[in-house]
Structure 1
């Protein structure tokens, strides 16, 4: 019997690469991936690329100011979007679950080996260890974090507790199922939610949510 080597479908090939390279703010960002060990949390999704491009474009156009702003990335995964935000001047805190933290720290150390004064990695289990995040943030970002219905309640709790009036939440995602839209509807009890960008080629939407009141 002939041995047939497995070749992943073309759309999955980027996920199976051990390294991916990107250029933002004129600097190369090297991302280590580990699909076999950590799965979806350790690869770069299109939503993170589109969000990174959006942040850079808006800052360069003078339509968004990140310099010295407190920014939190939820479900950072490989950390691409959070690292781009830091390169754009944000005081960036990149968060994810305990099993992902080691990989996330590795990527930050690779790309910020000379200066980590405005970027930090912290463990965050949505809805659980929120007391260790005492400050409120100017921006909260997330790329492809809306996809598990069972996590919606704790994700909304996390967003509510870590935001203040005028905090901007930027969520970059593909809308794959009705439940994804259901989460955006859930947010509307606490946030004003608008779609601010759509990348037609990648099928990725970016939604901006702004806290309406501290009483909600």
Structure 2
């Protein structure tokens, strides 16, 4: 893998307190339930310096926006997630997955690089959610991991937040998404922040040629009420035919 360094813009929502404590100030909540990402005031430190691992330590705007979008759509009965099976790819801090669990999904599978799994498991424990499994899934070595990830599952939703950025990972990512989807059934919901137009084109071209069709979600359907809107973040829904 390339060891190029990418300068990625930081969050526009930096004020949330994700540490596990009794404090009620500046909490990020789904269905009035605060979400915790750290056990104390120290962020978990991963040993790898590779950017594909280090980025998992950040809370990206797209993940916050996607989590709040799910909450709003379920609240307005525009999205049927209750009792559904959900998987997130490139989860990082896994906010959309945690949101899906809180919102009533029957089962949530959270995936990311093997090095990141233990951190996500700690996050799941902090939030005391029990309908969740955390599994390693390296897109570049997907054939090793997919049998255990998929098992006998048919996923209703694939979630992804800000996963299109490093060009050499785009083909492995799209092949992984293809493998996880059931034709005519599985819906991909992704919050996307453009990092490079070339990367975007490669991502969508790869999926479209495999039968995927996408719609862009109007920003009025984002969570305007609580200010979870970023003009650089677009939400797409796709299904494979």
TM-score between the two structures when normalised by the length of structure 1: 0.84
CA distance in 1, matches of 2:32, 2:12: 27
Map 1:22-37 → 2, pairs under 5 A: 22-32=28-38, 33-34=43-44
Gapped runs of 5+ residues in structure 1? 1-8
Residues 187 and 193 in structure 1, CA contact (< 8 A), matched pair in contact too:
no
Residues 216 and 234 in structure 2, CA contact (< 8 A), matched pair in contact too:
yes
Give the length in aligned residue pairs. Answer: 200
Q: Which has the higher strand share?
A: 1
TM-score between the two structures when normalised by the length of structure 2: 0.75
Match of 1:136 among 154, 179, 183: 154
1:126-159 CA-partner distances (Å, limit 9, x unpaired): 2231111222210000111111111111111111
1:165-200 CA-partner distances (Å, limit 9, x unpaired): 221001111112112321122211121112114465
Gapped runs of 5+ residues in structure 2? 1-8, 20-25, 48-52, 223-228
- Structure 1 outlier segments of 4+, above 3 Å: 9-15, 17-21, 33-38, 197-202
CA distance in 1, matches of 2:44, 2:204: 30
RMSD: 2.5
Match of 1:105 among 97, 106, 121: 121
1:77-99 CA-partner distances (Å, limit 9, x unpaired): 11111000000011211111111
Residues 137 and 146 in structure 2, CA contact (< 8 A), matched pair in contact too:
yes
Match of 2:196 among 177, 187, 191: 177
